[in-house]
Homo-oligomer: A and B are copies of this chain.
């Protein structure tokens, strides 16, 4: 009997872990290349290998006999992806697309060519060029940053030394990592438009959501974005679909956006970042949409028809659980379940099997329903409880 093709996933974080759930339902065998034993996804995917994703030989071993390879993160070297594709593995998203999620300099250049609205930006090579660009501004290293790392708001020339040193260190002195200057956008709020796209060109757009960052890390998502002008939402979806098509993305594309106002005072959008994998701003879909972003990522990279991205409730709220400020000795996340589940029988909890290090994403909660204020209270309470941040009321 013909059996199902195997999908290789590079990277053992929570995104790979959460792909495992729909893979079980679809009968899709997974093979994992994990960065270390016992990491988040390695706890739940039996067919696994531990090794370094920066080593081409390891990548070749991990993807042998696999029809398709996809990713938990965007850090696999572009040239290795090209080598795997030349070997005959379907690399999804492919290196020609993924490079725009890996390199912010190339991303800005390409989006500019496409006429996609972006903050004013320029690659800068010296402090003088930063000053010429204009201060204050945002400096980013073009490769290797994530969750607020590799991003600085600089207000004086004295602040620019650290970004340049970070780029030098990240590029190992070979100039591969540059510094990108962007205008400091006075945004009204942040939005995210997530689409799935398959190699055959089918695409599905999720409703546009509102996302709140805290210290550069996604903290809270409301789906759909409250009070979003319908034409602005449609514009964001169309933009994400166009970028996915023009760049040849396969799988999930998340377009993080600033909602701002143009010179005429009308609401407008600017593209902040691109991600080509299931994204934190799409975790709400696990419980709030007819097909989750994780399932649609699998369907897309396997070139299966996509599932409906339709919301299942008027509102869904996602709040991340971050390791709290309480420090290391806060017990296991599992120990937080009795209170959280007893207080809210409708709470949906997603834990990643990670230790509770301060500031680290270790899980999230979803709630859905009709009353947004009620959902926000419940999701925030639960996330704070798991993080150990509710404090002791007797203190």
Contacts and interface: CB of A to CB of B under 8 A. Distances in A.
A307 interface: yes
A26 B308 contact: no
Given A308-B345, A341-B307, A345-B306, A333 B44 contact: no
A1 B332 contact: yes
Interface residues of A, number: 56
Interface stretch (A14-22, A52-60, A373-381): A14-22
A25 B346 contact: no
Given A328-B1, A329-B1, A290 B21 contact: no
A356 interface: yes
A28 interface: yes
Copies of this chain in the oligomer: 2
Interface stretch (A86-94, A106-114, A268-276, A347-355): A347-355
A4 B332 contact: yes
A192 to B, nearest CB: 22
Contacts of A349: 25-26
A335 B27 contact: no
A329 B2 CA distance: 9
Contact of A27 (B45, B48, B352): B352
A332 B26 contact: no
Nearest to A356: B1
A317 B96 CA distance: 43
A260 to B, nearest CB: 34
